[in-house]
Amino acid sequence: MCRPKMSQRSFTESAGRVMSKILMKDLASISTRINAEFKQYKAMLMVCTGTGCVAAKGFDVRDALSRAIRERGLQDTFLVVGTGCNGFCAMGPIVVVQPEGIFYQKVSEEDIPEIVAQHLIGGEPVERLMHRDPVSGAINRTMDEIKFFSKQQLIALRNKGLIDPENIDHYIARGGYESIRNVLESVSPDEVIKEILTSAIRGRGGGGFPAGVKWQSAKEAALERKETPYIVCNADEGDPGAFMDRSIIETDPHTVIEGMMIGAYAIGAKEGFVYLRKEYPLALVRLQKAIDDARACGLLGKSIMGSEFEFDIHIHRGAGAFVCGESTALMASMSGQAGEPRAKYVHNVEYGYRDKPTVLNNVETWANIPVIMDKGARWFASIGTGDVTDNPWGGSSGTKVFSLVGDINNTGLVEVPMGVTLRDIIYDIGGGILNGRAFKAVQTGGPSGGCVPAEKLDMPIDFDSLTEAGSMMGSGGMIVMDDRTCMVDIARYFVSFLMDESCGKCTPCREGLFSLYRTLTRICNGEGREGDIEFLEELAKTVNETSLCQLGGTAGNPVLSTIRYFREEYEEHIRNRRCPAGHCKALISYRISEGNCTGCTLCAKQCPVDAIAGEPKKIHVIDQDTCIKCGICYEVCRFDAVEVQ
């Protein structure tokens, strides 16, 4: 039990704002005060300033909006708030008018006067900036009407779009730091661990290891060896196309801090580290500010909130390699050694950072912790699949954030309860396949995940079902692929990524991936041989089962899962020298069908190598020897006259 020691409330300057030390008893009144302040405004204008929207000039939109409001003297009526990512980046920059929830997308500086005049002053929302359902074409006025949002359940991302990540007051107003206050006041460290065990939350970074079990082991090791353990947050996020962790930090950095505080309190750590991917400058700025502010408010450092609890967080910038996200490589990299994995026969919970017991959890895992402590482990465990009452391995509780990309209408970041089906995600939230094409497969779990085919669309997604399907949860990447995707080439693409990212320390991963890549390339080039498929299977299994770390340990998945579900596609390549998806250049040719060609000359003008001959209004012909199979003619022809064979 942690007994608060009363101390004088002191004031510190931070980032130009007076920050006062927050004591346990004051937190609730501070929150009430801030909320009352917010209520004085007629509306709050939430401008997305996540990385995606910023790339689309989100900062300009925010500044223009503030300027316009000030120019009209409305600064006491409307409050402009720059928020973190809403997860709908393809639609950015996004502006949401709260509390109604009116949603504007692809807003530019030029749209601002209209929004101010027509909506804010005139009370008439601007329809042309609203979202349209990609399938029905209907206008969605509010966020709730947009299927992309309405089907989600938010825990880790509960504050997205609703707070200014750079303002600690906003987090507090939404109940932030209430969980740690409550824990410090009335929950013992062991009770916290029990609560996390009961919640059955499994790590969101890839392995799906129950967090509670990890915490308990680290605590036991620390007690036995009389060492002070460490807490580490894995924010390396190296999966191509994944951005859930970046978003969480950019959107709500304090939830990660609060989660780590609770973990530190539970296991007795005094120091924590965030291993942050090098290429995340905005996340770095926001997290650093959040840490500085928390420190200035007495939420980090000694005697936190007036209690005896002591904890601080430091940011460690990543070394820029995918494998550095692997737990042992991460610890090595943090210690200034080469970021290479080591055997995990002795775990980090016993000998981790600086050889001390260390708990490493993913950003999203940490972000869930305050909510679990707030709403209760049973509530959390009731969400999701399986029975986790006695055994966290019995199912998958809570929600998971996925990054939805590929040939899909609504790309973005979504948080859904464990157990929703792929169909829900792809068709409801994702709005279906781009251009109305057919769904072929979805690659989940990052580069070393697997491809799940259409027949599994109704499979409820959780850690175990994905593994069973030959893929994995990984950190939550989802790449949707339509019928024009060649599965052999997809396997080759992921193997090539992994081959480049392999550290090369152990033989099966180093030599095996190279050989898988060579064989797949041969097949794509139409030089496949009988026995190749069996060789790929045999080799991929050995790579999976004998590699030193889980990079190699899962690197066979793209090969194995595509062979499992799309074996005939491999066979077509090898036996008939055909790429059924019409993708592998060596195996296809472009021809112009005499029936459809109108002789519009467009293809001939666009062909980069002048391979198309023909006179206006006459049928065009492709010279196969010159054609480099770039596919441009196929794309540009408006009469479907170019065919792939």
Ligand X SMILES: Cc1cc2nc3c(=O)[nH]c(=O)nc-3n(C[C@H](O)[C@H](O)[C@H](O)COP(=O)(O)O)c2cc1C
Residues engaged in binding ligand FES (CB under 6 A): 48, 50-53, 85-89, 92, 94
Is residue 549 close enough to count as binding ligand X by CB under 6 A?
A: yes
Strand, coil or helix: 103: strand
For other proteins, the binding residues (CB under 8 A) are 321, 338, 342-343, 345-346, 499-515, 518, 535, 538-539, 542, 545-548
Is residue 547 close enough to count as binding ligand SF4 by CB under 6 A?
A: yes
> In what helix (H) or strand (E) does residue 233 lie, and over which residues does it extend?
strand 230-235
Nearest to 171 by CA among 189, 93, 180: 180
Q: Please, which residue, 234 or 307, has the CB nearer to ligand X? A: 234
User: For 564-614, what is the HEC assignment?
Assistant: HHHHHHHHHHHHCCCCCCCCCHHHCCEEECCCCCCCCCHHHHHCCCCCEEC
Options 262-270, 361-369, 425-433, 625-633: segment touching ligand SF4 (CB under 6 A): 625-633
Nearest to 312 by CA among 265, 244, 356: 265
Q: Which residue's Cβ has the minimum distance to ligand X?
A: 203
Count other Cβ atoms within 10 Å, centred on residue 216: 20
Is residue 394 close enough to count as binding ligand SF4 by CB under 6 A?
A: no
Report CA Rg, the chain.
Answer: 27
What does 207 bind: ligand X, ligand FES, ligand SF4, none (CB cut-off 5 to 8 Å by kind)? ligand X
What does 632 bind: ligand SF4, ligand FES, ligand X, none (CB cut-off 5 to 8 Å by kind)? ligand SF4
* C-alpha 179 chain-centroid distance: 25
Nearest to 45 by CA among 93, 124, 99, 114: 99
Helical H segments across 157-243, by residue range: 168-173, 178-186, 189-199, 211-225
Amino acid at 162: L
What does 514 bind: ligand SF4, ligand FES, other proteins, none (CB cut-off 5 to 8 Å by kind)? other proteins
Is residue 551 close enough to count as binding ligand X by CB under 6 A?
A: yes
Task: Quote the CA–CA distance of 540 and 166 in Å, as a whole number.
Answer: 46
Contact 122, 366 (CB under 8 A): no
Is residue 583 close enough to count as binding ligand SF4 by CB under 6 A?
A: no
- Binding residues for ligand X restricted to 213-272, rule: CB under 6 A: 234, 236-238
What does 86 bind: ligand SF4, ligand FES, other proteins, none (CB cut-off 5 to 8 Å by kind)? ligand FES
What does 633 bind: other proteins, ligand FES, ligand SF4, none (CB cut-off 5 to 8 Å by kind)? ligand SF4
Options 82-90, 393-401, 561-569, 600-608: segment touching ligand SF4 (CB under 6 A): 600-608
Options 103-111, 131-139, 204-212, 510-518: segment touching ligand X (CB under 6 A): 204-212
Is residue 504 close enough to count as binding ligand SF4 by CB under 6 A?
A: yes
Q: Please, which residue, 114 or 537, has the CB nearer to other proteins? A: 537
Q: Please, which residue, 546 or 598, has the CB nearer to other proteins? A: 546
Options 192-200, 485-493, 516-524, 631-639: segment touching ligand SF4 (CB under 6 A): 631-639
> What angle, rounded to 10 degrees, do the helices at 189-199 and 363-375 form?
100
Collect all residues with Cβ–Cβ distance below 8 Å to 157 and sequence separation of at least 6: 87, 247, 248, 251, 252, 367, 401, 413, 415
What does 360 bind: ligand SF4, ligand FES, ligand X, none (CB cut-off 5 to 8 Å by kind)? ligand X
**Assigned token pair, 305:** 């909130």
Strand, coil or helix: 232: strand
Task: Quote the CA–CA distance of 497 and 517 in Å, as a whole number.
Answer: 10
Residues in the chain, total: 645
- For the bound state, the minimum distance from the C-beta of residue 72 to ligand SF4, rounded and expressed in Å, comes to 52
Q: What is the residue whose two structure tokens read 């020298």?
A: 577
Start-to-end CA distance of the chain, whole Å, equals 73
- Count residues binding ligand X (CB under 6 A): 23
- Binding residues for ligand SF4 restricted to 271-330, rule: CB under 6 A: 323
Burial of 145 (0-12, 13-18, 19+ CB in 10 A): middle
Is residue 540 close enough to count as binding ligand SF4 by CB under 6 A?
A: no
Amino acid at 517: Y
Among 92, 125, 176, 203, binds ligand X (CB under 6 A): 203
Is residue 449 close enough to count as binding ligand X by CB under 6 A?
A: no
Q: Please, which residue, 467 or 606, has the CB nearer to ligand SF4? A: 606
What does 538 bind: other proteins, ligand SF4, ligand FES, none (CB cut-off 5 to 8 Å by kind)? other proteins
Q: Please, which residue, 49 or 396, has the CB nearer to ligand X? A: 396
Is residue 607 close enough to count as binding ligand SF4 by CB under 6 A?
A: yes
Among 105, 409, 465, 550, binds ligand X (CB under 6 A): 550
What does 356 bind: ligand X, ligand SF4, ligand FES, none (CB cut-off 5 to 8 Å by kind)? none
- For the bound state, the minimum distance from the C-beta of residue 594 to ligand X, rounded and expressed in Å, comes to 52
**Assigned token pair, 441:** 């497969």
Nearest to 593 by CA among 638, 643, 639: 643
> In what helix (H) or strand (E) does residue 482 lie, and over which residues does it extend?
strand 477-482
Helices (H) and strands (E) in the chain, counts: 24, 23
Strand, coil or helix: 452: strand
Q: What is the residue whose two structure tokens read 């079902």?
A: 465
Task: Quote the CA–CA distance of 570 and 112 in Å, as a whole number.
Answer: 53
Contact pattern for ligand X over residues 457 through 496, marking x by CB under 6 A? ------------------x---------------------
Contact 456, 554 (CB under 8 A): no
Is residue 396 close enough to count as binding ligand X by CB under 6 A?
A: no
What does 512 bind: other proteins, ligand X, ligand SF4, none (CB cut-off 5 to 8 Å by kind)? other proteins
Collect all residues with Cβ–Cβ distance below 8 Å to 110 and sequence separation of at least 6: none
Q: Please, which residue, 59 or 514, has the CB nearer to ligand X? A: 514
Strand, coil or helix: 275: strand
Is residue 496 close enough to count as binding ligand SF4 by CB under 6 A?
A: no
Is residue 365 close enough to count as binding ligand X by CB under 6 A?
A: yes
Q: List residues near ligand X by CB under 6 A.
A: 203-207, 209, 234, 236-238, 322-323, 325-327, 360-362, 365, 475, 549-551
Residues lying near ligand SF4 in the complex (CB under 6 A) are found at 323, 341, 502-506, 509-510, 547-549, 551-552, 590, 592, 597-603, 607, 609, 611-612, 620, 622, 627-633, 636-637, 639, 641-642
